[in-house]
Amino acid sequence: MKNAEIVIGLLAGVALLAAIAQRAGLPYAAVLVLGGLVLGVIPGIPRIHLDPQLVLLGFLPPLVYATAFQAASYNLRPNLVHILTLATGLVLLTVVVVAAAGRAVAGLPWVSAFVLGALAAPTDPVSASSVMRDVGAPERVVAILEGESLINDGTGLAAFQVAVVAAGGGISVGSGVLRFIAISVGGAAVGLVAGWVLVRLRRRLDEPSLEIVLGLLAAFGSYVAAYAIGWSGVLAAVTAGLYAGRHAEDISSAGTRLNVEPFWDALTFVLESMLFLLIGLQLPSIVSGLHGSVGTGILDGAVIVAVVFAVRGAWMATLRVMPPAVGRTIAAVVERLPGAGRLATSAGEPLSGRELTVLGFSGMRGSLSLAGALSIPLLVSHHAFAARDQVIFLVYIVVIGTLVLPSLMLETVVRRLGLAGEDELRRLDLEARTRIVHAGLARLDELGPESGVPQDTIDRLRALLELRLERLDAQRRRDGAGPGDGSGDGSAQADLDAAVHRLRREVIGAERQALAELRERRRVPAQVLARIQRDIDLDEIRLH
């Protein structure tokens, strides 16, 4: 029962801290990190000792697969050069510089220092991207940030894998570089195969439960297969998620996607949240294994945090003055890679100083760095891993330093730089919706006479689409984004919309009451009631 009690306690802690974050309007990741820290120092809280292999297999595959699957729909192509420079060059530079700092400041052995550098290098965009989307930051900045994280997760953890192997001895710098390349390329190849198989299987199915099972199988299967060969399981899961997510609209119905996507959202949230709490609960045992005092460890960690920010800031400054020819050269090289096709057609528009400032400030570390730290093996070649607790402690300090304060300040930074554009985002949303409705009307006019559908039905459908256009136009007039007939008409339309909104809420409330009465009578199958409940929920979602 002890394990069950631990799981229940973790879930309760996640629920409580997430609720506090929501009520306070704070990024949940920052609250969970601090909450885990507080729980770790409370006397009487049970101490948890995790098997490193359990962390690798239980947390990383679904986390990276879900992130890649959800981000696959973003158009990364125009920003591919920027993403590659951040996700490869910046990561590798960070690994080297942080390793040197860990050696000089904390006195870590070189191998342990490189493990620290590999875990401190990859970014976690969850908090940054959510905050920037809330304030309407430019979509290009958000796309670059999320695209960077997809690739640098694999790059950083591939370097981590090489460093752990090096801890066993018998590996030179040259062979380490070759092994890094093999680990990365091999992992991506395994993930591509897994994604291809998954897509072929899902084309023959349209059942949400089966698609969830197949997605989990692709995440864990690709990771385990690549890891068993000695390649990057993280890159395998990332590639499988990217491939499957890119084909999601072709292989799944809307109803299936509506059921599957919330599952991945919830799973990612639970796994990330539990990681933050787990490492907090392990802090007492980690602190007890430190060679020096806790204060010394915190100071060493603060220096590492400063180094991480300095390296990222210096890299952004370099990108600001990078000649356009360098970007065109990188794009040309990527185009010639096997299988790249037309992936990179240009070097992309240069990033402005304000965009680079926001990207530099958004280099937050999070759940993947923590998962990697917890997965450091206890023994390497029958010997204890050197300075394991010290490395984990420093990674935790890096996560706190790069996540908590920046996530709380990011909205202010974006607004001060003039990059917050809620009005622009709303205008683009209205334009996109209007274009979609016009496309529907045009297609209805093309097929209407020959569709075999009664004319009155066609007229009702056309009236529905035209009503949507009227509402979009009313919204545009209220936002000042288009011509209107005066403020009085806009106010009247707003009053009418509010009245319609109230009426629809009353209708939905009556439907829910009738559904509750049917449920109490128990004369309708539960499966039917569930479908009706889902339809009512969708109507309420559309209402909001």
Instruction: Report pLDDT digits (tens) over 212-245.
Output: 899 999 999 999 999 899 888 888 998 898 888 8
How many whole angstroms separate alpha carbon 381 and alpha carbon 285?
23
- Taking 60 as the threshold, does the pLDDT of residue 331 lie above it? no
Q: What percent of the chain has pLDDT over 90?
A: 13
Residue with tokens 């050269």: 329
How many whole angstroms separate alpha carbon 25 and alpha carbon 134?
12
**CA distances for 172 relative to 97, 165, 179, 180, 402, angstroms:** 19, 11, 10, 12, 32
Among 32-36, 344-348, 417-421, 449-453, where is mean pLDDT lowest? 344-348
For every residue of 79-144, DSSP letters joined together read GHHHHHIIIIIIHHHHHHHHHHHHHHHS---HHHHHHHHHHHSS---HHHHHHHHHTT--HHHHHH
How many whole angstroms separate alpha carbon 380 and alpha carbon 161?
12
How many whole angstroms separate alpha carbon 111 and alpha carbon 104?
13
- Taking 50 as the threshold, does the pLDDT of residue 306 lie above it? yes
Structure token pair of residue 1: 């029962």
Q: What percent of the chain has pLDDT over 70?
A: 75
- pLDDT category at 169 given cuts 50, 70, 90 is low
Say what the pLDDT of residue 286 is: 77
Among 70-79, 178-187, 365-374, 388-397, where is mean pLDDT lowest? 70-79
How many whole angstroms separate alpha carbon 144 and alpha carbon 85?
11
Confirm if 208 and 260 have CB atoms less than 8 A apart: yes
Among 352-361, 442-451, 521-530, where is mean pLDDT lowest? 521-530
Which backbone phi and psi does 379 adopt, to 5 degrees? -125, 140
The tens digit of pLDDT for each residue in 471-518 reads 777 776 766 645 444 444 555 555 655 665 665 677 677 777 877 777
Say what the pLDDT of residue 318 is: 84
Taking the CA atoms of 81, 86, 87 and 89 in sequence, report the sign of the dihedral they define. positive
Confirm if 76 and 143 have CB atoms less than 8 A apart: yes
- Strand pairing partners for 133? none
Say what the pLDDT of residue 119 is: 92
The tens digit of pLDDT for each residue in 188-209 reads 899 999 999 998 888 887 777 8
Residue with tokens 């049970």: 46
- Taking 60 as the threshold, does the pLDDT of residue 73 lie above it? no
How many whole angstroms separate alpha carbon 239 and alpha carbon 231?
13
Confirm if 152 and 133 have CB atoms less than 8 A apart: no
Among 109-123, 232-246, 395-409, 525-539, where is mean pLDDT lowest? 525-539
Confirm if 300 and 106 have CB atoms less than 8 A apart: yes
The tens digit of pLDDT for each residue in 39-51 reads 877 777 766 766 6
Please work out, in degrees rounded to the nearest 5, the angle formed at the alpha carbon of residue 116 by the alpha carbons of 65 and 97: 110
Please provide the average confidence, as pLDDT, over all residues in the chain: 77
Confirm if 164 and 180 have CB atoms less than 8 A apart: no
Longest dimension (CA), the chain: 82
SS3 category, 428: helix
Say what the pLDDT of residue 483 is: 46
Which backbone phi and psi does 380 adopt, to 5 degrees? -135, 120
- Strand pairing partners for 384? 379
| Higher-confidence position of 49 and 33 | 33
Say what the pLDDT of residue 226 is: 92
Say what the pLDDT of residue 352 is: 82
- Taking 80 as the threshold, does the pLDDT of residue 76 lie above it? no
- pLDDT category at 115 given cuts 50, 70, 90 is very high
Say what the pLDDT of residue 536 is: 76
Residue with tokens 């199988």: 217
Among 72-76, 442-446, 527-531, where is mean pLDDT lowest? 72-76
Compute and round to an integer the Cα radius of gyration of the chain: 26
**CA distances for 238 relative to 72, 162, 213, 431, 442, angstroms:** 10, 18, 17, 33, 39
The tens digit of pLDDT for each residue in 380-435 reads 777 888 888 899 899 989 988 888 888 878 878 888 887 766 555 566 667 767 77
Say what the pLDDT of residue 278 is: 77
| Higher-confidence position of 385 and 310 | 310
The tens digit of pLDDT for each residue in 245-270 reads 878 767 777 667 777 878 888 888 88
Q: Classify burial at 448, counting beta carbons within 10 Å of its beta carbon; exposed 0-12, middle 13-18, buried 19 or more.
A: middle
How many whole angstroms separate alpha carbon 223 and alpha carbon 237?
6
- Taking 60 as the threshold, does the pLDDT of residue 319 lie above it? yes
Q: What is the mean pLDDT of residues 302-311?
A: 95
- pLDDT category at 52 given cuts 50, 70, 90 is low
- pLDDT category at 2 given cuts 50, 70, 90 is low
Confirm if 49 and 289 have CB atoms less than 8 A apart: no
Say what the pLDDT of residue 193 is: 93
| Higher-confidence position of 128 and 438 | 438
Residue 443 burial (CB count, 10 A): 10
The tens digit of pLDDT for each residue in 55-68 reads 778 888 888 888 78
- pLDDT category at 1 given cuts 50, 70, 90 is very low
- Taking 90 as the threshold, does the pLDDT of residue 145 lie above it? no
The tens digit of pLDDT for each residue in 346-359 reads 455 677 888 888 88
How many whole angstroms separate alpha carbon 229 and alpha carbon 127?
34
Please work out, in degrees rounded to the nearest 5, the angle formed at the alpha carbon of residue 49 by the alpha carbons of 45 and 54: 130
How many residues in total does the chain contain?
Answer: 544
- pLDDT category at 525 given cuts 50, 70, 90 is low
